[in-house]
Structure 1
Amino acid sequence: MSLQIKGRHGYSVEFSPYFQHRFACASSQYYGIAGNGTLFIIDQTQNGLVPTVVFDWNDGLFDVTWAENNENVLVTASGDGGIVVWDASQPRGPIKAYKEHTKEVYSVHWSQTRNENFVLSGSWDKLIKLWDISQTQSLATFSGHEYIVYSVRWSPHIPGCFASASGDQTLRIWDVRKPEFPSNVIPAHNAEILTCDWSKYDQNIVFTGSVDCLIKGWDIRNSRGPICQLRGHQYAVRRIKTSPFSKDLLLSCSYDFTVRTWEITHSAPLETIEHHTEFVYGIDHNLHNPGQIVDCGWDEMIKVYNTKSLLSGVR
């Protein structure tokens, strides 16, 4: 199934953790360089992909994350330095907006291990902030990255632990109780790192994707070298998502207009999906439907489809 979001370029998609038919897409006008942003909440129906709620914002929206304790709440990352909280059951506008970053916010992620309102944000101002959306300001600021923070991801296993990926070529592991210093700094690539994600099955494994076209896996207990290195993309790896169904499967998208599926024990992709005509920026697995993924790109298209390689690899 496909949906064209005319005049909007897709940056991020994420399936609802509650409803198997629903996902959200964060998008921007004019490739995120100028203009407004739009958050689409979209349902899969017998008539195709249908936007059920549409929120507009006065700057580009670059990432989206669903709340883990409320099926209607989402948080987006905004080009105005803010994070914006939305409630799909109140479609008149945002319920909260915070603006503490001084440059674009490029990544947001809701805590995966705590039944609380904790959200991370990573920004072009090189900072990471910790938020509780029931509060009026951030709880902590994490500094140390020397360039843009492109990706922040909570550990799905260890409470209070998260990873960050930056244009300074490092992957960093943090403990929220110690915001002054990361617990681990890994020089993971020789180019900007645009994305990271934790294994859903091993609390010590994190994957990174970079401008150098490579995907690497890291064991944070011994980070002297990668545990795997995946080659195949022709341009920068924009986003990776580990499988919620198999410890060995991985999904990626790239500026080479493709989505690829991987088994981490093999260096070459299992499958290469070429159905976009521009950069592919967002991807996600459907937690309720093994093998189904959603992606979005700068060609104004959102696509939902099933992949044989992911489905056959489910253990």
Structure 2
Amino acid sequence: MVRSLKNPKNAKRKSKGSKKEDGSSSSNSVPSMPAKVWQPGVDALEEGEELQCDPSAYNSLHAFHIGWPCLSFDVVRDSLGLVRTEFPHTIYCVTGTQANNAPNSIGIFKISNISGKRRELVPTKTSNADTDMESDSSDSDEDELDNEGPKAPVFQVRKVFHEGCVNRIRAMTQKPHICATWGDTGHVQIWDFASHLNALAEAESNISKDASTVSNQTPLVKFTGHKDEGYAIDWSALVPGRLVSGDCKNCIHLWEPSSDSTWNVDSKPFVGHTGSVEDLQWSPTEPYVFASCSVDKTIAIWDTRLGKSPAASIKAHSTDVNVISWNRLASCMLASGSDDGTFSIRDLRLLKEGDSVVAHFEYHKHPITSIEWSPHEASTLAVSSSDNQLTIWDLSLERDEEEEAEFKAKTQEEVHAPTDLPPQLLFVHQGQKDLKELHWHTQIPGMLISTAGDGFNILMPSNIETNLPPANATA
């Protein structure tokens, strides 16, 4: 269990006196050293060495913050297109602050003009000048961009007062303006942010309203039936408005929408865990089935038609189970991340046989803080950890020595990459401190957003391939 909160780099290590990224030479006369991939927890920085981002690893890379650290956020589904592949991009999100000595708020924000560039999987050999021009497209919004280059993204935000810290926030898929928040006050609240999202959608530039202004708004519902604060909450993707919320006292409550834009919350909780409920996920195919995980080291599968006890309970990890993710493209697959840094993939069809684990990874050495399957590739998932790494995995990959040799020959340069990494490890993103949560953008293939103690990152790794439908659709 790692939750409290009180700049994006795919890091390479090189000598401070070596050749700079822009091709010029530094004043230091230390001989040039080849860049190599740096592994946190494995490699140590020696005197005279520094970490540098490799911008060629990204199609797009941006950083931003809203003032206070945010433990949780969610991507808001929009009407700009179901599958968007052309830059610049626009995204909408909701988040909540974790401020101990200041008023907390919910932030509804829009980021437009997100620049980037498509790249070939195997880049052609180019001059230093060509490479440097290409990498400019992945600069963060903190960098200075000249008039001839891409403009920095435009950040717009509206804020709503929230009583206490926001432990977790989730937007409803079918009605994205409806959001649920878990507060450290022990209350679960549901909000309607339609007016804020409409104002952001109509604004072409910075909203005239001061970004520091926090408005007061009454939630649609404020549930006080939980006996403690919590973090677990999830909307059903099959039944609009159906919700489950779990607390640190091992209780889970079911919310059912009513016809008058409110909710009926079952006062009798689902009880089966012996410790705090850390995460909840509705089944992507069964409207009455959801999964939960707990500090009691188990994952439970529930069917709301069968009473208040679990339909199945699985001893999942040797330490707290922090997060779970149900694969929406392969509904038999459930991923889970633990406090010991391991994460596992289970095939739920094998539950009756006793051992449902089909993959288990021990790459991370610190607690897993977030895990999520890609909405566009059934074999791909992203993981964040307290070791300050965001990793992307493709479970369909196997090591192919011939393919590696062919890639090396095409790039015509020496690849200084570790040889002992799992072949399924597709990408490592570093630089954020105290990573807490990540989400794929369901309408922009290959885009990930992550939050950490030092702010947000938007990233699109250049080696993430996605099987797109034959034609773009509009929402």
TM-score normalised to the size of structure 1? 0.91
Q: 2:248 aligns with which of 124, 130, 135?
A: 124
Pair 1:3 & 2:3 matched? no
The CA distance in 2 between the partners of 1:312 and 1:136, in whole Å, is: 43
Backbone CA RMSD of aligned residues? 2.0
Deviation at 1:140, TM superposition (A): 5.0
Aligned partner of 2:73 among 13, 18, 21: 13
CA distance in 2, matches of 1:190, 1:135: 37
1:28 paired with 2:98, answer: yes
- What is the CA–CA distance in structure 2 between the aligned matches of 1:259 and 1:38, rounded to whole Å? 26
SS in 2 for 1:253: strand
How far is 1:170 from its partner?
A: 0.3
Corresponding position of 1:78: 183
> Mean Cα displacement is larger for which, 186-195 or 123-132?
123-132
Matching residue of 1:243: 374
- For residue 163 of structure 1, the aligned residue among 286, 291, 312 is 291
Select the residue among 438, 441, 445 that pairs with 1:286.
441
Q: State the SS of the aligned residue for 1:251.
A: strand
Contact 1:2 1:48 in 2 (8 A): no
Q: Pick 1 or 2: higher relative contact order, CA cutoff 8 A, min separation 6.
A: 2
> 3-state SS of the aligned residue for 1:158?
coil
Distance 1:28 1:44 in 2: 21
Name 1:275's counterpart in structure 2.
431
The TM-score, its normalising length taken from structure 2, stands at 0.61
Name the structure 2 match of 1:57: 162
* 1:203 and 2:324 matched: no
Q: Within 2, Cα distance between the matches of 1:314 and 1:279?
A: 32
Does the aligned pair in 2 maintain the 1:53–1:88 contact within 8 Å? no
Give how far 1:89 is off.
2.7
Q: Is the 8 Å Cα contact of residues 253 and 265 (structure 2) preserved in structure 1?
A: no
Conserved 8 A contact 1:158-1:203: no
Correspondent of 1:45 among 98, 107, 112: 112
CA contact under 8 A between 2:346 and 2:358: conserved in structure 1?
yes
Distance 1:145 1:307, change over 3 A: same
Residue 209 of structure 1 aligns to a residue whose secondary structure is: strand
Q: CA deviation at 1:35?
A: 6.0
Deviation, structure 1 residue 90: 4.5
Aligned residue among 360, 363, 383 for 1:252: 383
Aligned to 1:101: 226
Residue 304 of structure 1 corresponds to 458
Partner of 2:235: 110
Moved more, 259-268 or 282-291: 259-268
Identity across matched positions, percent = 19
Q: 5+ residue gaps in structure 1? A: none
Higher strand share: 1
Closer/same/farther in 2, CA of residues 191 and 19 from structure 1, 3 Å limit? farther
Tell whether the 8 Å contact from 2:71 to 2:98 is kept in structure 1 after alignment.
yes
Which has the larger helix fraction?
A: 2
Question: In the TM superposition, what is the alpha-carbon distance from 1:55 to its structure 2 partner?
Answer: 1.8
1:253 to 1:147, Cα distance in 2 relative to 1, 3 A: same
Distance across 2 between alignment mates of 1:200 and 1:84: 26
Query: For residue 43 of structure 1, what is the amino acid of its counterpart?
Result: K
Q: What displacement does 1:12 show? A: 1.5
Any gaps of 5 or more consecutive residues in structure 2?
1-61, 81-90, 114-151, 197-215, 398-421, 469-475
The 2-side partners of 1:230 and 1:61 are apart by: 31
2:309 corresponds to which residue? 181
Pick closer, same or farther for the CA change 1:273–1:180 going to 2, 3 Å: same
Report the Cα distance in structure 1 between the residues aligned to 2:158 and 2:102, rounded to whole angstroms.
20
Residue 76 of structure 2 contacts residue 94 of structure 2 at CA under 8 Å; is this kept in 1? yes
Cα displacement (A) at 1:96: 2.2
Give per-residue Cα distances to partners, 1:184-216, cap 9 Å, x unaligned.
111010000000011112222111000121110
Distance 1:270 1:18, change over 3 A: same
Corresponding letter in the other structure for 1:29? A
AA aligned opposite 2:182: A
196-205 or 209-218, larger mean C-alpha shift: 196-205
Q: Which amino acid aligns with 1:45?
A: S
Rg larger in structure: 2
| 2:71–2:436 contact (8 Å) kept in structure 1 | yes
Figure out how many residues of one structure are paired with residues of the other and give that number. 307
C-alpha displacement of 1:302: 1.1
Give the whole-Å Cα distance in 2 for the aligned partners of 1:169 and 1:27.
Answer: 28
Q: Secondary structure at the match of 1:222?
A: helix
